[in-house]
């Protein structure tokens, strides 16, 4: 059985009727969209999606920083006020 990674669920038919109403009923939480009782998609409110994208961007940036630190000989300390 596939896990449902949301507190709220709705059918595709309910989604077609009114996605905005579903989000309001779920208090702007993630909604698992079910097709024959199996999650086929997730409806994510825009603010949460933007937050997720920020977290992913930060993660990728941290990987680049780690890579850069490993590649360079000696890190250089910089005061932000001097920039």
Q: What percent of the chain has pLDDT over 70?
A: 96
Find all residues with CB under 8 Å of 69, minimum gap 6, and list them: 75
Strands 31-35 and 8-11: parallel
Q: Give this prediction's pTM.
A: 0.74
Residue 58 has pLDDT above 80, yes or no: yes
Digit-coded pLDDT (tens) for 26-50: 998 999 999 999 999 999 999 999 9
Q: What is the pLDDT of residue 32?
A: 97
Residue 74 has pLDDT above 90, yes or no: no
């Amino acid at each position: 059985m596939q896990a449902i990674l949301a507190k709220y669920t709705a059918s595709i038919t309910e989604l077609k009727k009114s996605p905005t109403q579903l989000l309001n009923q779920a208090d702007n939480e993630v909604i698992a969209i079910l097709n024959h009782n199996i999650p086929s998609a997730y409806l994510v409110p825009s603010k949460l999606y933007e937050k997720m994208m920020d977290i992913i961007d930060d993660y990728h940036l941290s990987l680049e920083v780690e890579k850069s630190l490993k590649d360079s000989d000696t890190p250089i300390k910089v005061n932000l006020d001097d920039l």
